Structure 1
Amino acid sequence: MEQVRALVFDVFGTVVDWREGVARDAAPFLERHGRADIDPRAFADAWRRRYQPAMEECRSGRRPFTRLDILHRENLEAVLRDHGLDPAAIAEAELDELNRAWHRLDPWPDTVAGLTRLKARYIIAPLSNGNVALLLNMAKRAGLPWDAILGAEVAQAYKPRPEAYLRTADILGLRPEQVALVAAHNGDLKAARGCGLRTCFVARPREHGPGQTTDLAPSEAWDVVATDFVDLAAKLRC
């Protein structure tokens, strides 16, 4: 890690708690539309399950690159239909507002303190599948002290496509080995390592709720393994 100059971060699940944030905004929406019987966390999970398949349409070339806000909105309408709600009967402004739940996610308790310490030594930026407006709004609300707002929209590629990692390093004017990805997802780290980036695993054992069974521990010997961002800062002597 001695030559690393920048830390880039997976965001959904690693930096912020997407499940609780989406559920918080979904609960009153569902109640207003007569579906208080739907568990808002299960609704968030169902919305999230459509995330990877939607991006795969772009990764595969079957669809041109499309920003995540648009994919999220399409997925929201599909999830509403799955739950017996007709999105055509709901005001566009209300659908847009719920879609922006992804802009209002809360950071994990250690996130801001850890990022602030890491920023003192490293360039810090998101390497997320989120689009710029989403990541910018999230950062302003949550106080995330990024040096730059990067993401799939900047790289024009969704992880784990190699372009997502390599173009991010290039945009920062750095070689891949001068950049380390921080993520709570082993698959993301594996793809980054395959592109020459350094790797930092931070466990987020409640990303998917109390019954989470994936990414509870590192699957490989990553360059750094930490319990949270504060621990990561300490291990990187920040």
Structure 2
Amino acid sequence: MAESHFRPKYISFDVYGTLINFDIDPTTRRLLNGRLPEEQWPAFKKQFRGYRFDEVLGDYKPYEQILQDSFDRVCRRWGIGPTPGAGAEFADAVRGWVAHDDVPAPLKLMGDNYKLVALSNADTSFLDISIPKLGADFHAVLTAEQAQAYKPRYQAFEYMLDTLNAKPEEFLHISSHTRYDMHPMHDMGFRNLWLLDRGYDPITGGYDYNTVESLDEINKHLGL
């Protein structure tokens, strides 16, 4: 557990999944339109998530294209034909997602006492819609579009450090994703890392992050 007297200069966040409910399943099922047997859905869902991760490891392209290409690739693996316009439909869904119910109150308390920073794997236009739904003031909202790179690429985190003229030790970072945030940030020297466990990733050892189930737990750690 991180030391309780530590007062970070910034509290940084992943956004989609961590603060905003990543509710992609209904749109995925609708786009499949009965082309996949129900018993194969869990495996398809897992592989689609993997392809989304693989797509962000390359050169930057708009988030809508990430969604289109990852869906086309997983569908091709399952013998399902392409779905033109899928990326646009996923993008519309993302813009409609709302905050997790357990986020606004504790996040506002954090924002009243610390500088909040969002570092999100999406384009700026998505965050322009999503951030106001969180009910807290953010010092900075940084995006993959601005960084020209998606997490887990180091370039995304370097963009945050360079933009804020900050060092890794000045942050407390909160995410629900180990592969996108915890693993690369640990390797880059970030040490005050907090996994808000929403069941996306298995808990992994060796990366020195704290695991909690609510933002309230982190506020308690911060003495709020």
Q: 5+ unaligned residues in a row in structure 2: which ranges?
A: none
Counterpart of 1:55?
56
1:234 aligns with 2:220: yes
Q: Distance in 1 between matches of 2:43 and 2:88?
A: 20
1:110 aligns with 2:102: yes
Counterpart of 1:154?
146
8 Å contact 2:171–2:190 — kept in the other structure?
A: yes
- Give the 4+ runs in structure 1 shifted more than 6 A: none
Q: Which amino acid aligns with 2:49?
A: R
Q: Which amino acid aligns with 1:145?
A: A
Secondary structure, counterpart of 1:157 in structure 2: coil
TM-superposed deviation, 1:177: 2.0
Equivalent position to 1:192, from 160, 163, 185: 185
TM-superposed deviation, 1:165: 1.8
Counterpart of 1:76?
71
Counterpart of 1:35?
35
Q: Deviations over 1:118-171 (max 9, x none)?
A: 11111112222222222333334x435351321222222332333322320221
TM-superposed deviation, 1:229: 0.9
Q: Which amino acid aligns with 1:87?
A: P
Secondary structure, counterpart of 1:237 in structure 2: coil
Q: Distance in 1 between matches of 2:34 and 2:152?
A: 39
TM-score (norm 2): 0.78
Q: Which amino acid aligns with 1:25?
A: T
1:66 aligns with 2:70: no
TM-superposed deviation, 1:232: 0.9
Q: Distance in 2 between matches of 1:87 and 1:162?
A: 32
Number of residue pairs matched? 217
TM-superposed deviation, 1:82: 4.0
Counterpart of 2:82?
87
Q: 5+ unaligned residues in a row in structure 1: which ranges?
A: 59-64, 209-213
Secondary structure, counterpart of 1:107 in structure 2: coil
Secondary structure, counterpart of 1:127 in structure 2: strand
Equivalent position to 1:174, from 166, 172, 176: 166
Counting aligned pairs with the same residue, the percent is 21
TM-superposed deviation, 1:235: 1.2
Structure 1 residues 186-195 or 5-14, which shifts more?
Answer: 186-195
Counterpart of 1:11?
15
Q: Which amino acid aligns with 1:195?
A: M
8 Å contact 1:125–1:149 — kept in the other structure?
A: yes
Q: Distance in 2 between matches of 1:234 and 1:226?
A: 11
The 1:4–1:55 alpha-carbon spacing in structure 2 relative to 1, beyond 3 Å, is: same
TM-superposed deviation, 1:2: 3.4
Alignment of 1:122-137 (within 5 A): 122-137=114-129
Q: Deviations over 1:42-93 (max 9, x none)?
A: 55433221022212222xxxxxx223322112112233444554336x5x3x
Secondary structure, counterpart of 1:206 in structure 2: coil
